[in-house]
Structure 1
Amino acid sequence: MSRFNNLSEAVSVMRARGFVNTFSIQHQQVYCSELSKSISPTQLTLLERHIVPSPASQKGEEEVYGFRTDDNQLGIMTNIYAEYDPEGFYTVFRQCLKGQAGRA
């Protein structure tokens, strides 16, 4: 059971804890709009992973991830992109370093 009721709640709580950047996948790389730059997936370490209910998604749930960059910037990524391009999402996601990610 998730400790968050929905994606909005998860993002809000994570932002309050310092995950202030937003990471998205673009052109086989991770892009951060707040930092205005692309980041190689190999420069990201997964710190947190949460599964939240989402009636609008195909699987009925979404995942939200907390990452740290090599220069200690914290940010959030969701798996929403995987609904449109699962292969592209997981190709990039697999390159990210896996830390001690907690799962809610």
Structure 2
Amino acid sequence: MAHTFDDDALAGVLGHMNDDHSDDNLLIARAFSPLPDVISSQMVTFDGAAGQWRIVAADGTHDVLRVPWPGGEITERREVRREIVALYDVACARLGVTPRPHA
């Protein structure tokens, strides 16, 4: 069973992703979703195995997208950022987008 993060970790990461990185959420969804033309994506949860996004396609179809962490299972909050950045980089490569530098 995947590691479960506490409510503070979930709230902190999800708030940051949805408030400050909504474009990254959309990019990840477009790269990994089987739905064509994703127009909306919000990160809704994560655990030690994957991140999860609620997505909407242009035709109104709603879905939940679960994407495994590229580096494998994690157990520490600090590892979540590393894995989301890795997902972003893979998404950029899949979509042919030049990734921005990471600080």
Task: Report the TM-score when normalising by structure 1.
Answer: 0.30
Structure number with higher helix proportion: 2
Q: Which protein has greater RCO, CA pairs closer than 8 Å, 6+ apart?
A: 1
Task: Report the TM-score when normalising by structure 2.
Answer: 0.30
Structure number with higher strand proportion: 1
